[in-house]
Amino acid sequence: MAQPIPPYVPAHGLLKGKTVLITAAAGGGIGFAAAKRCLEEGARALMLSDVHPRRTEEAAQALQKEFPDAQVFGQVCNVAVEADVQTLIDTAEEKLGGVDVLINNAGLGGSKRVVDMADEEWNKVLDVTLTGTFRMTRAMLKKMQPRGKGAIVNNASVLGWRAQKEQAHYAAAKAGVMALTRCSALEAADYGIRINAVSPSIVFHDHLRKSAPESLLNELASREAFGRGAEAFEIANVMVFLASEYSSYLVGEVISASSQRA
């Protein structure tokens, strides 16, 4: 039997006075939940980015209305395009007065058996999910390193550890994100910068429901320890923890937000 969804945790000022940049934060998924949670936790300024112009602007406006005391900006960015990444980082640095926290949330999935997968499908998923995270991390470190501080939080997936049919491209990309997190974290630690990741299992939101049959999603959720999928805010809570000083001694960690049974 599925356990009930827990109450929404009250804010504790974990990011008071911080500035935050989040990719793929438009819509109703993990990125938007993380943006809202960061503002609730006291971030003074936030920039959310996404590849969809209308959704990006609507998300920024909605958050600005809900949090009038903070500064909220939207910026269109395709993390698969280096020029977009550079523009996003430069714009965020200027408008936020320097970025304290980067949350790399952008990723792309799909379902296809290896024998049927074209190079283009494989490359597209890896370019957004893995190489996009690398591009953002590289650009952000060039800004953070001279300041000697900052935190980067990556969104990985339990599929980086587990096997699942028709997910070879996504699983390979997320395993790469985990490895990138560990290796880049050791380099960044030399400059007082923390890089860690959260590894969600199944998280119910509109985008996921469009990408897989409901029967499959329900089956996967039933295997979890609580008998249900995670809510987006539950993953956002882990991201905020990793972005905050409560994780000051974590270097290259990948925190699993799942039962580890599936």
Predicted pLDDT at 213 = 74
Predicted pLDDT at 219 = 82
CB 19 within 8 Å of CB 194: no
Low-confidence ranges of the chain (pLDDT < 70): 205-212, 259-262
- The count of C-alpha atoms lying within 13 angstroms of the C-alpha of 14, restricted to the half-sphere facing its C-beta, is 24
8 catalytic per annotation: no
Predicted pLDDT at 210 = 61
81, amino acid identity:
V
245, amino acid identity:
E
In the chain the domains, ranked by start, together with CATH numbers, are 19-257 (3.40.50.720)
CB 34 within 8 Å of CB 239: yes
Q: Among the options 170, 191, 246, 249, which is catalytic?
A: 170
DSSP letter string over 161-203? TS--TT-HHHHHHHHHHHHHHHHHHHHHHTTTEEEEEEEE--B
Place of tokens 């490895």: 179
Predicted pLDDT at 209 = 60
Predicted pLDDT at 227 = 87
Predicted pLDDT at 37 = 98
**What are the backbone dihedrals phi and psi of residue 195, each rounded to the nearest 5 degrees, phi first?**
-125, 125
First to last CA, the chain: 16
- Burial (CB < 10 A; 0-12, 13-18, 19+), residue 162, is middle
Predicted pLDDT at 262 = 43
CB 23 within 8 Å of CB 105: yes
